[in-house]
A and B are shown apart, each in its own frame.
Chain A
Amino acid sequence: MAGGLFSTERGRTVALVTPPFIYALLLLALPLGAIILFSFWQKDGYDVVPTFTLENYRAFLDGEVYQVLLGRSLKVSAIVTVITVILAYPIAYFISFRVPNNRKSLWLFLITIPFWTSYLVRVFLWKVILGYNGVINSGLLQIGLIDEPLTFILYSVNSVIITLAHAFAPFAILPIFVALEKIDRSLLEAAQDLGENRVTTFLRVTLPLSMPGLMAAILIVFIPTIGDYVTPELMGGSGGKLIANMIQTQFLQLNNAPLGAALAIIAMLCVTLISLLLIFLNRRWLRV
């Protein structure tokens, strides 16, 4: 019988997936390769010379500022992840278990809307809320709870954390919700029938079964927050800058792309390793 790529469904599937795959190779794999290469090259004035060097990585090891920024970045991302996921779980649970089926879309829609509105403007508005003359301070002054405006909430790591936790809320809610939706409701009845109360049913059945969604939420918040330089730039003040700000500065202001590339790769490696470690530690829950 005639062979040909299109004569079998498998062949047609390969043919279909090829263009998007090639696009991703060209615009993702190739650039990632380029940046790895770049991090081993030398900067010479305003030029980059293709001479192999470990100088950029040595600069990271010698430069305390880079390590502090990376450490702070990882810490902020971790805190943001924990806060976001803890705040998100009850919402996902509420929508999945308490909201009637025909209203679930509406709730998810309400939660996704703020996420799609201009990110820059949203970050800026947190500045308005948390600022010296901001909503919180003027509110608290008005009702006489404080005598002068609180300053620790703006231009610090705290404000960065609050803003990021807000920005990534839907990313955390949706995967948990999807995992909760998949749970067969009769399993919960079975657990109660076998003598568990509501709390122990949650701990022994619901929570373990929602672990894949929980892990997805953790990763989908943790990984991108490392790469955000807008929030720390606008909200962090001098003490709240993160590694992404440094990468951006190296590329666009100091014109030291090789060092920026090395920092980017180090940051990505850290994130990847931590993610893999998390997946490994939770592997027994993820086989659902």
Chain B
Amino acid sequence: MALRTYAILYLIFLYAPIVLLPIFAFNDGTIIAFPLQGFTTQWFEELWTTTALHDAVGNSIFIAVLTAIFSTLLGMLTARAGAMANFPGKGGIIGFIMLPLVLPEIIVAVSLLVMLRQVLDMDLSNWTVIAAHTLMSTPFSVAILNGAFQSLDPAMEEAAMDLGENRWSAFRLVILPLVMPGIISSMLIAFTISLDEFIIAFFLTGANPTMPVYIWGLLRFPAKLPVVMALGTILVTLSIVLLSMAEYFRRRGLRRAGVEDPGGFI
């Protein structure tokens, strides 16, 4: 059928660049072009011995972990409020929290740069990147956690309170376990976003570059490109693993809440 053929062609278009990654990562030649030169693992070995890269990866992981925690906390508050009683202006407030989703990233980057450097005269550091990444990934956390909180029967909390729990213990004993898969999935997504974000990090990074900023530097040196391919291969593998886990937890969460849902992450 025509539509199905088109869909498969589209998937090929989507995956075309990614399929090339491992091919050149194991290609024994410094030029990233065809024809291929033979098999090697030397680019992966070079990754292993580049200490500057290790520092960048360490920074990025630090930033990504804290971003995941902060944006999931903010996302939980927003998603929970979204599933509760309305008050005048609630839609506007939640819309404002979701705004970074549709703002051009460079606007966010330069306005934060102006405020931090020129207005507050702060030094750029990993923390400035964390603050910006938390802002950017909170809307994604909200979107994921919305599903978890909205599919929750409000009678669950009431039943717990009816059976002798107070509001906090009802949350801890009933709501938290039920939305936990959503929380894990939100943390994984926020972690992945932060780990990969370049445009803002390039503006706000301090003396220690994050991994994408470091890769950006490598892209200018043709001799280093195969190493970037090797690194990219590892990152793609890691992303797929993390995303599969996130999807697994998201679906398990919906199953727990007794919902069949065909939707994706957003």
Interface of A with B (CB < 8 Å)?
Answer: 8-10, 12-14, 16-17, 19-21, 23-25, 27-32, 34-35, 38, 48, 87, 90-91, 93-95, 98, 101-102, 104-105, 107-114, 116-122, 124-126, 128-129, 131, 133-135, 138-139, 166, 169, 174-175, 177-178, 181, 219-220, 223-230, 234, 244, 247-248, 251-252, 257, 260-261, 264, 267-268, 271
Bound: A110/B7 CA distance, A: 11
CB <8 Å contact, A87 and B10: yes
CB <8 Å contact, B247 and A264: no
A-B complex: 8 closest residue pairs judged by Cβ atoms: A227-B104, A108-B264, A125-B17, A133-B33, A31-B111, A104-B262, A121-B232, A17-B81
Judge if B263 is at the interface, Cβ distance under 8 Å: yes
A102 to chain B, nearest CB (A): 8
CB <8 Å contact, A35 and B110: yes
CB <8 Å contact, A251 and B196: no
Interface size of B by Cβ–Cβ distance < 8 Å?
88
Bound: A268/B109 CA distance, A: 13
B60 to chain A, nearest CB (A): 11
CB-CB under 8 A for A20 and B138, given A13-B81, A112-B264, A114-B18: yes
Contacts A121-B236, A248-B106 known; 16 new A-B pairs at CB < 8 A: A13-B84, A17-B82, A21-B97, A24-B135, A28-B103, A31-B111, A34-B111, A101-B260, A105-B262, A108-B263, A116-B239, A118-B196, A120-B215, A125-B20, A174-B266, A264-B107
CB <8 Å contact, B251 and A105: yes
Contacts of A268 in B (CB 8 A): 104, 107
CB <8 Å contact, B119 and A116: no
Ordered by A's residue number, 14 sampled pairs between the chains whose C-beta atoms are within 8 Å are A8-B85, A13-B87, A21-B96, A23-B135, A24-B99, A28-B103, A109-B264, A124-B219, A129-B20, A181-B263, A225-B104, A227-B106, A229-B199, A267-B107
Contacts of A247 in B (CB 8 A): 106, 110
CB-CB under 8 A for A9 and B265, given A30-B115, A38-B114, A224-B105: no
Contacts of A48 in B (CB 8 A): 118
Bound: A234/B1 CA distance, A: 38
Task: Point out the residue from A13, A98, A117, A227 that lies within 8 Å of B105, measured CB to CB.
Answer: A227
Chain A, residue nearest B106 (CB):
A227
Interface of B with A (CB < 8 Å)?
Answer: 1, 3-4, 6-7, 10-11, 13-18, 20-21, 24, 31-35, 74-75, 77-78, 80-82, 84-87, 90, 93-94, 96-97, 99-108, 110-115, 118-119, 131-132, 134-135, 138, 192, 196, 198-199, 202-203, 212, 215-216, 219, 225, 228-229, 231-232, 235-236, 239-240, 243, 247, 251, 260, 262-266
A129 to chain B, nearest CB (A): 6
Contacts of A116 in B (CB 8 A): 192, 196, 239, 243
CB-CB under 8 A for A17 and B94, given A28-B100, A166-B17, A223-B103: yes
Contacts of B35 in A (CB 8 A): 138
Chain A, residue nearest B139 (CB):
A24
Contacts of B90 in A (CB 8 A): 13, 17
A212 to chain B, nearest CB (A): 15
